[in-house]
Structures are given as structure tokens and as C-alpha cells.
Amino acid sequence: MTKIALITGATAGIGQAIACRLAENGYNLIITGRREARLLELKNDLENKFQIKVLALPFDVRKYGEVVASLEHLPDEWDHIDVLVNNAGLAVGLNPIHTGVVDDWERMIDTNIKGLLYVTRTISPGMVSRKRGHIINIASIAGKDVYPNGNVYCATKHAVDALSKAMRIDLLPYNIKVTQICPGAVETEFSIVRFKGDEAKADQVYKGFTPLDANNIADAVLYVVSQPPHVDVQDMLIMPTAQATGSLFHKE
């Protein structure tokens, strides 16, 4: 039977690259994100290129009602999800804690922690009842390390690290794999979002070194989903060669 993967945040960056890589490898896809036009464009592209099926579901992961309404009662042909990629996420702002913007904090906490929980709470019961499934959480080096002014973003990704471990323990009796993939700097729309649309500032982040490309993370996802049933890659940290820690880069 053709496998189904659900990818949150497939309208850009890492999620979009994962969608393309899995489509290329024969998966049917459920793609989600808030920007519906981008989802529909991706659906058309992937269906035409790879002769697979794509279900595009626009919703905001921060809204539990929208998550449930979109995902709880999927049509029969879509309801046996094999792979859930919890990718939707963002950083907003880069301020020290004492000048942090509370609304930025709420957006990061609501998206990166609560959104991931809402989607997992909706999809995991089906995996439990089928005793089959693979949850892949896109965490970050920011979930293993803390860097100046990264405070709340780093805290949300540390939460993803804890939740990945917790999921692995709770889902252990049900044959469900849980993988966490932790990238260092990947050039996507991430920094444009972090700097609230200031593209010049975002460009500076990636100057002087070669950052990761979203396809490098998609390759890692393909690797982990291609392992045999008895192998779970639990945790992968993938950094640009020019990045040693969350904040230490070698820039030319």
C-alpha cells in the first residue's frame, strides 16, 4: 500500500523540501500550512511530476479547533498516516530577555510547542490503534544549546527535545518510531520571519559561510524513513561545516 506522510509547514523551506523528497520517493502526502495558494501550487506540481496524490489542508497549528477540524476525520483513503513530520515552526525576534516582546514569545510558544502538541495529539491515536507509525520532529541546535538573545526560541526547541524523548517513552508499546532532527543554520524564510520581513538583515545571517540547504534536511528525513522496521534513528544533529555550536561560526 502506498505510504502516507503528513508534513506541517510545507509552504516553504524545510517542510517544502521534505514534501518534494518524499513525493519523489512515492509517498502520498498531506501538506499543511496557512498559505493556501502555496499549498495548492505545491500540490499541483507534485501530482504532475510524480504521479502521487496530495491532500492540501490549510490551517493554523496554533488553533486547536482548526487542527481537529482539519485532521480528525480524514477521508478513508487518507486516514492511515504512516509518517508525521512536525515541522511548522518559527523564531520571532532576537532580543535579550529584558527587552523581549511578549507577543513574539506567545507566537513561538504557541507554534513550536502547542502547535506540535495539537497535531501530535490528533494524529497519534490512529498510529497507536494501528500499532504502526513514525513521528519526526524538526527540532534545532537551539534545542541542545542556547545562544545570545535566542532565549525563548531556544526554550521552545528544548521543549521539542523533551517532547521527542517523552513521545518515545509513551509510544514505545505501540511500535511507533520517534525521530528528532536538529538542524543548525538552514537558509530558508526562517530569518526573514525572525526579522519580521527585513530581508537585508536576514541575508546577513548567512553571509561569509555556506549554510545548510533545506534539501540537506529532506535527505535526512528520507534516510530515517527508509530504515528497516527494527531501526529507529532517534536523534540527528546536522550542522553546516562552518558552524560548531548554536552561536560559533567560522565566517570568511
The catalytic site residues sit at 153
State yes or no: residue 89 binds ligand NDP (CB under 6 A): yes
Of 84, 73, 66, 71, nearest to 29 by C-alpha is 84
CA angle (104 as vertex; 101, 110 as ends), nearest 5: 140
- Report the site for ligand NDP in 103-132 (rule: CB under 6 A): 111, 115
Report the DSSP beta bridge partners of residue 229.
Answer: none
Residue 110: how many CB atoms within 10 A of its CB? Answer: 16
- Cα separation, 20 vs 49, in Å, equals 10
State yes or no: residue 108 binds ligand 8X3 (CB under 6 A): no
Tell me the residue nearest to ligand 8X3 as measured from the CB.
Answer: 140
Please tell me the count of residues contacting ligand NDP according to CB under 6 A. Answer: 29
State yes or no: residue 34 binds ligand NDP (CB under 6 A): yes
CB of 38 to ligand 8X3, least distance (A): 21
CB of 166 to ligand 8X3, least distance (A): 20
Q: Which helix (H) or strand (E) holds 171?
A: none
State yes or no: residue 185 binds ligand 8X3 (CB under 6 A): yes
State yes or no: residue 83 binds ligand 8X3 (CB under 6 A): no
| AA letter at 237 | L
Nearer Cβ to ligand 8X3, position 36 or 203?
Answer: 203
State yes or no: residue 242 binds ligand NDP (CB under 6 A): no
CB of 145 to ligand 8X3, least distance (A): 8
Q: What is the b/e burial string over 91-106, where b = at least 16 CB atoms within 10 angstroms of the residue's CB?
A: bbbbeeeeeeeeebbe
Q: Which helix (H) or strand (E) holds 177?
A: strand 176-183
Find which of ligand 8X3, ligand NDP, none residue 240 binds, CB within 5 to 8 Å per kind: none
For 42-57, the three-class secondary structure string (H helix, E strand, C coil) is: HHHHHHHHHCCCEEEE
Nearer Cβ to ligand NDP, position 129 or 241?
Answer: 241
Please tell me the count of residues contacting ligand 8X3 according to CB under 6 A. Answer: 7
CB of 219 to ligand 8X3, least distance (A): 18
Residues 6+ apart with CB under 8 A from 108: 90, 91, 92, 152, 153, 156
Interface residues with ligand NDP (CB under 6 A) are 8-15, 33-35, 60-62, 87-90, 111, 115, 138, 140, 183, 185-186, 188-190, 193
Interface residues with ligand 8X3 (CB under 6 A) are 140-142, 150, 184-185, 246
